[in-house]
Amino acid sequence: MKNVIFISPNFPTNYWQFCRELKNNGMNVLGIGDQPYHELMDELKGSLNEYYKVGSLENYDEVYRAVAFFISKYGRIDWLESNNEYWLERDAHLRTDFHITSGFQVEDIPRIKYKSKMKPYYTAVNIPVARYHLVEDIEGCREFIKEVGYPVVVKPDNGVGAANTYKLKCDEDLEHFMVDRPEGVPYIMEEFIHAEVNSYDAIIDSNGEPIFETGNVTPNSVMDIVNDNDNSIYYILKDLPEDTRAAGRATVKSFGVKSRFVHFEFFRLLSDHEGLGKKGKIIALEVNMRPCGGFTPDMINFAHSTNVYKIWADMIAYDSSLAPVGEHCYCAFAGLRDGKNFVMSHDDIMAKYGDNMKMVDRIPEALSGAMANQMYVAVFPTEEEMNDFYQDVLRCN
């Protein structure tokens, strides 16, 4: 029986399903989290063999002791994972310290977490990258902007999501950023690319080959959603485009990805861009060595009539999966921001789209910055029907 430690199994709230499928595959599933056991969902409790509560997952010594306790009780740990961007570095440190070899180690972190260090791995497989500059002083930034022009995008070189990411449109914006940027946080500045985000989402086996593949599209910028307090939309594609598939598989090989659920983001150009390519071309954005965030795993299941929680757990148990993949459709996420004067009420939306609806709920506060406040997740057989849904639910007076 394999011993698997799952870090923070209670958040996001849907991640208990990873634990359930591990346990269904005969794994010994050991959870470490900071939520009291009696507050855990019953479904999660039933998916764990044992749970160790720490005062804070931020406290490495506490988490280290929890892992040591499980080793003393159950023996060697075969896997340690959180599937969470926030804990990727923590996971790698724990694997390195306890010689758990089934995952990224400390030495791997720079190339999978620092946006500037990702770029050579893209160019090695002929995927174009945006020009960039590592921010040090305003003079260097001005020299870079002289080359690429405004606007430019600045973001933490090692960051999670769109937090502290800004579009600078003029010298005044640049000056304000240089004064207000967080102290001690390395920033990267990139040329602005007029594009939508297309992702490659896959579960990869121990040989670096995909067991399952799909993708999503984010038409509006997460950076703008956060900074403008706007609505949020994205959708799982009915069928993965071949150019996205090819770019994703090449990226898997270049980064040496094995035995992981990955979410790679690419730009698809919305207009010709000098030095990068023609409208429609796929351009590198960044790798994320974990599932796409929030409720996306559930959306993938709805779009492809499958169970990616099981496919991932099968990858760990068997290095393959026979989980069925059924009829394909589009799965649309609409996140509506509180305070906007929407034309359609909740009752109106449910009356018209209730048969399409898969999830309707309030979005947890920790995710609301990028995903808004009220979510509707619905499936549609055609892109046209999905677009009609978006036009209806997002229309404001």
What's the pLDDT at 227?
59
Instruction: Report the pLDDT averaged over residues 209-219.
Output: 96
pLDDT at 163 over 80: no
φ, ψ of residue 359 to 5 degrees: the values are: -145, 135
Find the mean pLDDT for residues 43-71.
98
What pLDDT shows up at residue 221?
Answer: 62
pLDDT higher than 60, residue 222: no
Centroid of chain to Cα 363: 16
pLDDT tens digits along 245-255:
999 999 999 99
What are 69-111's pLDDT values in tens digits? 999 999 999 999 999 999 999 999 999 999 999 999 999 999 9
Instruction: Tell me the one-letter amino acid at 143.
Output: E
Q: Is the pLDDT of residue 352 over 80?
A: yes
Whether 382 has a pLDDT exceeding 70, the answer reads yes
Predicted TM-score (pTM) above 0.85: yes
pLDDT of residue 226: 59
Distance CA 32, CA 82 (A): 10
Structure token digits, residue 74: 């159950």
- CA–centroid distance for 294 within its chain: 8
Q: How many CB atoms neighbour CB 272 within 10 A?
A: 12
CA Rg value for the chain: 21
Lowest-confidence pick of 154-168, 179-193, 327-341: 154-168
Which parts of the chain are beta strand (E)? Answer: 3-7, 28-33, 50-53, 79-81, 132-134, 152-156, 166-168, 187-191, 195-204, 210-214, 216-218, 232-236, 260-269, 282-288, 330-336, 357-362, 374-380
> Mean pLDDT score of the chain, rounded to an integer?
95
- Residue 223's pLDDT band (cuts 50, 70, 90): low
| Burial (CB count within 10 angstroms: exposed 0-12, middle 13-18, buried 19+), residue 24 | middle
**pLDDT at residue 220 is higher than 90:** no
Q: If you average pLDDT over residues 360-383, what whole number do you get?
A: 92
Q: Is the pLDDT of residue 299 over 70?
A: yes
Question: What DSSP letter does each residue of 357-388 carry, written as one string?
Answer: EEEEEEPPHHHHHHH-SEEEEEEESSHHHHHH
Percentage of residues in the chain with pLDDT exceeding 90? Answer: 91
pLDDT band, very low/low/confident/very high, at 328 (cuts 50, 70, 90): very high
Quote the percentage of the chain above a pLDDT of 70.
97
Confidence of residue 294 (pLDDT cuts 50, 70, 90): confident
pLDDT of residue 162: 62
Mean pLDDT, residues 339-354 taken together = 96
- In the sheet that holds 132-134, the strands lie side by side as 132-134, 187-191, 152-156, 166-168
- Residue 40 DSSP label: S
Q: Give me the mean pLDDT over the 262-287 stretch.
A: 97
Position with higher pLDDT, 370 vs 351: 351
Q: Answer for the pair 269, 276: CB distance below 8 angstroms, yes or no.
A: yes
